[in-house]
Every structure is written in C-alpha cells, then in structure tokens.
Chain A
Amino acid sequence: MPRVDIELSGGVRTSASGEPVVAPLVYGGLYLGGNGDPRADLPAPGMVVQYHSFAEPGPSQYPGWMRGWIHQAVAAGTLLNLVLELKHYGVGTGAQAFTVEGRAYTVPTPAGTIQRRPNTTPPVAYSYGQVIAGQCDGLIHRTLAALRAIPPGGRINVQLASEVDTDNEFGTTGNGATFTTAQADAGAVAAYSYIIGWMRDPPTGIAPAPAGVTFSMGWAGQWSGRDAYLRTHPDTLPVDFDAFNSYNRSANWTPERRLLETLAYKRAAGPVMRRKPILMPEWGTSADWPGGQASYIDAWAPALRTVNEAQVVRGEGPIVGTCYFGSRDRTWGLLDPRDTGAAALRRCYATSPYRRP
C-alpha cells in the first residue's frame, strides 16, 4: 500500500496511507515481419517480441538465429517477449532425439492440430495431452537451457502461445481425438501450467528458470469473447503477466475504447488474475483510421495513461508493455506510409507513460 511515513523530533511518528498512486512506466516496441530487426525504425526499443516454436532448437529460440542484437538489447534493458508455440512451424515434423544438459530425450511427432478454421489446412502442433503426459519435457528443457544465456539483469518474458483462443477457436485434435473449444481451453490451461511449473521447478538435478525470466500466456483480445477469456484465465494459472492484443480493425474505435474491450473481460476474472499486470505483444490499427494511422498512434499514449491510471486506482493490473505489430497488412497494423507511422511510434514512445518527459 503506498504511504508516507514521517518522523518528527522526539520520535513522534505519523503516516498517510492510500496515496500517492503512480501508474508504471510502460515498455514500447515495434514488431516487423519475420522476427525482423526494428531498430532502424525504433532505435533502442523498450520491448522486442519474437515468435518461435518449441520444435526449434533452443539457440534458435533465444537469442535466435543471427539474432545477436537481441541478446545485446536484453543486456541493455530491453524486455524480450519470447512467444513460444506448441504449433510446429512446418519443417521437419518428425520425432526428435537430442541431449540437453546431459539428459537424453526423444520427443515424438506432434500429434495434434490447432487453428482449425474451416476451409483451411490446420497446422500441426504438439497436443496439450502430449505436454501433460511429459512427452514434450525435452522441448521444455531445451528452451530452459537456452534461457540460461540471459544476460545479468536482463528480462525475458516467455509467452506461451501466440493466441491460445484462436488456437482453440474451432476445437483441437490430439492423439486421434477431437476436442471442443471448451475442452481445448481446459487442456491449454493444464498444458501451459505444466510448462511453467516445469521451468520454475524442474526435475531434480536441473536448474530452474534463471532470474529475470517470467511467464505469460497469449490471448488475441476481444476476438473470442468473455467466456473464452474466463475459461483460460483462472486464478490458478501460474503466469506473472496477463497478455492480450488490441487491434483497431473492423471498426474505427478510439484507442481508449479498444483498450477497454478486453479489460472488461479481465474485470470479470478472479481477484488474482485481475491484479496481474498486462503485457500486450501486439497492438495496431488499420491504416484507414480517419485522419491517418499516425493520428491513431498519436492518440494511443494519452489513452493508455487514462486506462492505466484507472487500473491502478482499482488495484488491478495496468498494462506494462505494448509492442506495435507492424506486419501482416495495412488493415491490421502494417505501417502505411511506413515513415509516417514509424515517426508517430517514436513520438508515442517518447512520452508518458512510456517515458518521463
């Protein structure tokens, strides 16, 4: 509880509690397609987001192939939000045999599918059942070993799943069985809780996740509705951060209204989840926002100030990191025109709540 303590001569003490409440500084970042280097557009980003599959070798996850700049950025204080998916990215989907820190593992072929949108070929993924059965322990250990390279004082948040709700939106399959969305949501909570638990408290003889490593679970935002959010965000979910995205796409809403969409779901969650601070790995707006994309970006920081002040007054988790998703196409967030959008982002991140003026 914030408070002020005062001691006067003679040992007289007094205090005031409940004030002052200060919203946190926020990390700001920019994502470019293909895990691209954003520094030409945003020098010294506060936050970097990278997307990888658990199927990849550990050093490909952190710091990433030819990504020495990420390690340097983390050492310099940038928050790395490392998204790790059970989804296989498509090359070499067979079983894997490897050794991690002296332990030999054989991880079977991914036995599930997710993102089963009609009229598409759903991607292959390690199923939630495979994770819970321990069949993916080698993958978890391999990631954990890679994370030991975190520089002293660095911060890496491991975000499990890019968007668990769109993974499960049309149900999932695993080991020959088909699961409804609700069943898949329950499976995801169990599987991701297993992974976090394994990394924090691994089997005897394996060191736990190093200091500076935290955990979240990705969620798309307003897309899937409150019931799906509440199913996937019980108070028992052992994450350090809540995580969801915010896009202004299908209608032109103000940044504040967009931010409040998913916060409305969070306010219906249990007391533990409500207090969790929020990392937003993706935010963006259509380039067709009235007045141009840059004007939406210019309105973002003041809206975030307002929303975060309300969150901390309520005793609920504020948004502590946001990364603009400058990829996909111009209806989602691709900066168009690029230079104008990048300049707006630099202005945005140069002001409160991203930086003290």
Chain B
Amino acid sequence: MPTASVTFDRPVYSPGDTIRMTVTVQAEDPAPVTQTIRGEALLSDGTRLSFSGEVVVDRAAPTLESVLVDDPTRRVWTRETSTPQSAVFIAVA
C-alpha cells in the first residue's frame, strides 16, 4: 500500500504568510502507479484548505506529476515545485 506524509516549513504562521506544505508519497509497487490524492488541511484559525490531484509514483524513477488544486476557499493551495515522490504546495495563511 502506498503511504503519504506531510511536513510544513514553519511551526506557526501569521495572516499573509506563505505556508509551504510538502506532500511525500511512498510507493510500494515496483511498477509505476497512478495515485489520486485528495487532501484537506484544517488550520488552527478554522480555515479549511482542500487540494486534490493525480500523481504518478514510480519507485524506480519516482516523480509526482499532474497535481491539480481544488480551491473552494479562494485561499489557494498551489503547487510550487515537485521533487521525486513529493510535491510542495503553497498557500496564504
């Protein structure tokens, strides 16, 4: 089964700060796997930020691609960069 983990670049943000969230996916299947991701971040001020997308995880050549962003709140998670097996989303706190 694939797994995912999340890290943030800072422990606390003020309004207007940039939040950088890194989502990392670990593949178990040796063959390339297309994964859907659906996520939601509940911030401490009560704001819910949702994101979703589709990624291809290849354990031999791990990449994340085609990450889409759902923006129901207009405080947008956007994809900033991707590295093998991980994607960085940014949003305004």
Contacts and interface: CB of A to CB of B under 8 A. Distances in A.
Interface of A: 2-10, 12, 14-16, 19-26, 305, 308-309, 312-313, 351-357
Contacts of B38: 6-7
B6 A16 contact: yes
Contacts of B41: 2-4, 20
B80 to A, nearest CB: 15
Contacts of A8: 2-4, 25, 35-37
A316 to B, nearest CB: 12
Given A3-B42, A8-B37, A19 B8 contact: yes
A308 B14 contact: yes
Contacts of B13: 20-23, 309
Interface string B38-60: 11111111010000000000000
A20 B39 contact: no
Interface residues of B, number: 36
A348 B22 CA distance: 32
B38 to A, nearest CB: 5
A23 B14 contact: yes
- Please indicate which of the listed interface residues B8, B10, B44 has the most CB atoms of chain A within 10 Å of its own CB: B44
Contact of B16 (A3, A14, A356): A356
Given A2-B43, A14-B3, A16-B7, A7 B37 contact: yes
**Chain B facing A: main interface SS:** strand
A24 to B, nearest CB: 5
A19 B11 contact: yes
A352 B15 contact: yes
Nearest to B75: A356
Interface of B: 1-8, 10-17, 19, 21, 23, 25, 33-45, 47, 92-93
Contact of B44 (A4, A312, A353, A356): A312
Nearest to A26: B15
Nearest to B41: A4
Given A23-B13, A23-B14, A352-B14, A6 B37 contact: yes
Nearest to A315: B44
A192 to B, nearest CB: 28
Given A8-B25, A313-B11, A353-B14, A22 B1 contact: no
Closest 7 CB pairs of A and B: A352-B16, A16-B6, A356-B16, A6-B39, A2-B44, A4-B41, A21-B44
A313 B33 CA distance: 38
